[in-house]
Amino acid sequence: MTPPPTTDNRERDPEMVRLGERLKKTRDYLNMSQQFVSDSTGIPRSAISDIERGERRVDSLELKKLARLYRQPVAYFLAEEKDADAGEYALAGLPRALAQLTDGDAKTVLEFAEYLTLRRAAEREEQGADGGGPTA
C-alpha cells in the first residue's frame, strides 16, 4: 500500500492567489510582519500566512480589517487586473472624502495637487536636461 502524497496537489483558485499576493505585497511594502498584522486585526497569524499563499479564503470582514490596516480601499485588493494600481482605487474615494472637508481644507488639497503636478513636471524636465534615468 502506497502512502498518500505529502504535498498538496490541489489547484489553488487563481483569484485567491491574486488576492493573497496583493495582500502580501502590500504588507511587505509597509514593512509589517504577519504577527503585527495578526495582533492589529485579530486574525490568527497562521490564517494571514494561508491567505497570502492563496490557500485560505478571506471573509469580507477580514478583508475590511486588512484594507483598513494597510490604508487601501477594499476594491484594490479585489481588482481583477493583474497589475492593478492602488492609487487609482484610492482616488475613487476622493470625492466622498472631499465632501466632508471645509472650503479652506478643499482649497489646500487642490493647492497640494497642483504642487505635486508641478513637482513631477520639474522632475521630468530635470531628467531630460541630465539625460539620466528616473529619480526616486
| CATH number, domain with residue 46 | 1.10.260.40
- Which pLDDT band, with edges at 50, 70 and 90, does 9 fall under? very low
pLDDT at 2 over 60: no
The answer on 120 and 76 residing in a single domain is no
Same domain (yes/no): 116, 73 = no
Number of domains in the chain: 2
pLDDT of residue 66: 96
Q: Are residues 73 and 107 in the same domain?
A: no
Boundaries of domain holding 18: 14-84
Q: Is residue 9 assigned to a domain?
A: no
User: Are 49 and 62 contained in the same domain?
Assistant: yes
Residues 94 and 43 occupy one common structural domain: no
Q: Tell the burial category of 85 from Cβ atoms under 10 Å away from its Cβ (0-12, 13-18, 19+).
A: exposed
CA gyration radius for the chain? Answer: 21
> pTM of the full predicted structure?
0.57
pLDDT in tens, 53-89: 999 999 999 999 999 999 888 888 887 766 666 666 5
pLDDT value for 93: 61
